[in-house]
A and B are shown apart, each in its own frame.
Chain A
Amino acid sequence: MDPLIVTQAINVLYGVSTLAVLALGLAVIFGLLGVLNIAHGEFVMIGAYCAYVAQAGGWPYLAALPLTLAVCAILGLAVEWIMIRPLYRRPFDTLVATWGLSLLLRKIAEAIFGLGYQSVNIPLPGTVKLLGTEYPIYRLLLIGISLAVVAALVVWYGQSRTGSRIRAMVSNPELAQAQGISVRWLAAGTFVTGTCLAGLGGVMIAPLVPVQPFMGLDYVLRAFFVLIVGGLGSVAGLFSGAAAIGGVDSIISAATNAANGYFAVLVLAILFLWLRPRGIVARG
């Protein structure tokens, strides 16, 4: 096979699987709590800056993980307490509030790190030979990790007690509360899971993208479009949305330029909103 095609194909696979992880946290919060967290991208940014801080401090790259999880969990808990909990079932107000949060987090990052790009070194440099082409090993690793993270979350949600409690809460919060489930803490936990997943995504992609305060905007939009196109509530939806958005973006960007790729993604999302608002894999 033509090595160039193989490279491009793995690139698309890489784009789609990382996009799935980046959208996963948003899907958890939006799909289960009905809260559209526009600051989702800023949690990705926080993850990326944590990776930068860990590396700049001379720590091993994996140290960024507990750092990110701690920051995103504490922040997520505070945010849920201050601005999400009072506004449950008022989707428009949470939209505005989390938008304010995204501004705040960006401005804080700007005040601490400045507007410029920071770069993070790839922790696993080098390539491996795959189907006749050399491919960066770190990207292959990310594809594997992405698939593992999504699979782990799905299995846990489907099998564990907490998973079934969350399902109970989603379908009827009052009844769940009456059954002795602490809906408050469960919702907070769900929100924090979403923010931590975003942070995790940030750590993963940090070495491959420019790290800067505004990076989150792009990711929240892409993640949101994945959910529009794929539909909420299923792994099949998540991956088909990621495949459509990531695929269209990378193919058109490779064929012409990045602005056209972005434009195509936008048109695709508007078409879906308009013609098929429940996405490719509609549930219920």
Chain B
Amino acid sequence: MRAASLVVLIAVILPFLLGQFWAYQLGLYALYAAAAVGVGLCWGQAGFLPLGQALFFGLAAYLSGLAFVAFQDTPIVAVLILPLGAIAAGLLAYLIGSLVFRRSGESGAYFSMITLALALLAFQIATSWNSVTGGFNGLKGIPGLPGLDDISDVYYVSAAILLAVLAFAGWLYNAPIGVLWRALAQNERRLQLFGFDTNQLKAVAFGISGLMAGVGGAIYAPQQGIVTPQVIGFGLSAELVIWAAVGGRASLFGPVIGTLLVGSLTAQLRDTLPFWEVLMALFFIAIVLVFPRGVAGLAEPLLRRFPPRRRKQAAIVAPGDPAARPPAKLALDDVSVHVGEVTILDQLSVDFEQAGIFCVIGPNGAGKTSMFNAVSGELGAASGKIGLGGVMTSGLAPHRVSALGVARKLQIPSVFADLSIADNLAVALWSGRAGKLALLDPRLRRWTSPMLKELQSRYPFLAAGARKAAELSHGEQQILELAMALLTEPRVLLLDEPCAGLSPEETAAAMEIIRWAQQRLGGAIIIIEHDMSLVKELAQIVYVLHNGALLAKGSVAAIQADPAVRAVYVGGEK
């Protein structure tokens, strides 16, 4: 709260300190800053880079400009429909995001290139569609906002808009959706396996960033009185990215600092110093390569000396009880998976009882992890059916399979390294419990559950909320991921070598917790394991995979006596 009132105070007194000329400049750059906050949201939070953000700024500017020209005599009507321009920009961004993210590949490069192309296209349309946009010379003679007389009024409107955008962004970053965006940037696959539709999360982020750019653009038209193709094209898009990067894309205020600092300096120095923009580009590369936190990052050590006072807030017991779902049988029927020429699963038929601990063993390349990938929806089956308690899951996306009550722990510990332990655990708690709108409610970050309390009493490090997951040891990360998988209270839990890399003590503890969890959840726990001593301890039934098919199934003793299994392991006969 202190920080917020300080920022408002600075915004109010700034024109008195700097004078009319700078008030005018800042009034303009505050609008660009609103768009830059959106770039920071996409890039610094959700981890994808929009290269054509001016598209939304410019679109809203043209729409609002047209409205002000059309309702010249009744400007109040234009003011009332002004938000529509911003909303249109936001909707367009959401639409583009949903279309492109559905199949964009992992790196996000495809998305960036498409946004770049869209901005170039918009520039071309704006320059060539003379009858509507005024062509290269732009849309001229746009009347100003009614009732604003001098430059400081204009500045205060922009500043208020920017502060509103910042408040909105700050709230989002603090809400569960902000946590999910940051989780997504680090480990998209893990988030999908927790049942979150990551493509939609990205599309929403992009839509909101489009809205923020649109808000800036909609005010820009009446403020400047003219809208030219420059505001929709590549140039502004590029600058927004530079400003966000230089200021610090990951922080809330970074993009604003970058825009007001670099943007207004550039406006002054562009003409007097010919190499100013070359310097800025060099500076940008340096920031990307060695100092990704930007100018705002410089302030971090300073801020750490004044930690915000946090009231200790009471935890809230998460609503809903996923464990109330009845246990269900997981069954694979005649499932084949091919990657290229190679057959990975070869008409695999296997079913698991609805409750118990089962181990899957088999030599390397037998298809154990691939079976998990097929069950969790990451690997499409060429033929065959996978069902959970009579519901077909084959063909469903990973987040939908997860929603049916299938949780998974990956072989290499896979947690959200840059998030705190508390946030890692919270993501798991939200899985399957939090509705889409609830993700906007910051109170969800205080969720706990009886299961979490029990886990925290077994593993005290899980209660050390503010520590980053990256600071944990390998063994602790394994436990953290296991705890996260358990917190979703799944009907079927898939564990891929949960004890790999653990010390003997940690292994014993992990085995104990697996048994406890099975009792507690009452469902099925399926474990891929190489260590036969573990298998002997845990497994009620052992499944042996070989060459993508089920070779044998039975008790530990029966499997050990099975000549076919011995042949595979010892390599007797083919």
The answer for the CA separation of A275 and B113 in the assembled complex, in Å, is 17
Closest to A95 in B: B109
B117 near A266 (CB under 8 angstroms)? yes
B224 is an interface residue with CB less than 8 A from chain A: no
Q: Is the interface of A mostly helix, strand, loop or mixed?
A: helix
Contact A275 B47 (CB under 8 A): no
Interface residues of B in 457-480 (CB under 8 A from A): none
Assuming A96-B288, A100-B285, A257-B128, is B121 touching A263 (CB within 8 A)? yes
Q: How far is the CB of A227 from chain B (nearest CB, A)?
A: 10
Determine if A61 is an interface residue (Cβ-Cβ < 8 Å): no
Q: Does A86 contact B (CB under 8 A)?
A: yes
Taken together as a complex, chains A and B put the C-alpha atoms of A96 and B128 apart, in Å, by 31
Give the contact stretch, choosing among B19-27, B78-86, B276-284, B343-351. Answer: B276-284
Interface SS majority for chain B = helix
> Nearest chain-A residue to B110 (Cβ)?
A273
Given contacts A92-B49, A103-B242, contact A273 B103 (CB under 8 A): yes
A104 pairs with B278, CB closer than 8 A: yes
Q: How far is the CA of A255 from the CA of B113 in the complex (A)?
A: 26
Tell me whether B114 and A97 are in contact (CB under 8 A): no
CB distance from B140 to the nearest CB of A (A): 22
Tell me if B278 and A258 are in contact (CB < 8 A): no
* CB-nearest residue of chain B to A82: B289
A174 located at the interface, meaning its Cβ lies under 8 Å from any Cβ of chain B in the complex:
no
A269–B47 alpha-carbon span in the complex (Å): 23
A199 to B202, CA, bound (A): 36
Query: A271's closest neighbor in chain B, by CB?
Result: B99
> Considering only CB atoms, which chain A residue lies closest to B49 in the complex?
A96
Give the most central of A110, A224, A228, A257: most B CB within 10 Å. A224
Known pairs A257-B128, A270-B100; A284 contacts B340 (CB<8 A): yes
Q: Shortest distance in angstroms between B269's beta carbon and chain A's nearest beta carbon?
A: 13
Total A-B contacts with CB atoms under 8 angstroms apart? 104
Q: Quick one: CB contact mask for A107-127 with B, threshold 8 Å, 1 for yes?
A: 110110000000000000000
Cβ of A221 under 8 Å from chain B: yes
Q: Give the contact-size bracket for chain B.
A: 35 or more
Are A100 and B284 CB-contacts (below 8 A) given A221-B120, A258-B124, A273-B100? Answer: yes
Whole-angstrom CA separation of A97 from B290 in the bound complex: 11
The verdict on A88 contacting chain B, using a C-beta distance below 8 Å, is: no
Given A95-B49, A228-B110, A262-B120, CB of A86 within 8 Å of CB of B99 = no
Q: Is the CB of A92 within 8 A of B47?
A: yes
B288 close to A97 (CB less than 8 A): yes
Q: Does B502 contact A (CB under 8 A)?
A: no
9 closest residue pairs by CB, A with B: A104-B281, A91-B107, A100-B285, A103-B281, A259-B124, A107-B278, A107-B277, A36-B109, A100-B284
Known: A83-B289, A97-B288, A275-B103. 13 other contacts (CB 8 A): A36-B109, A38-B113, A92-B47, A99-B51, A100-B284, A103-B284, A104-B278, A104-B284, A104-B285, A110-B277, A111-B274, A274-B99, A284-B340
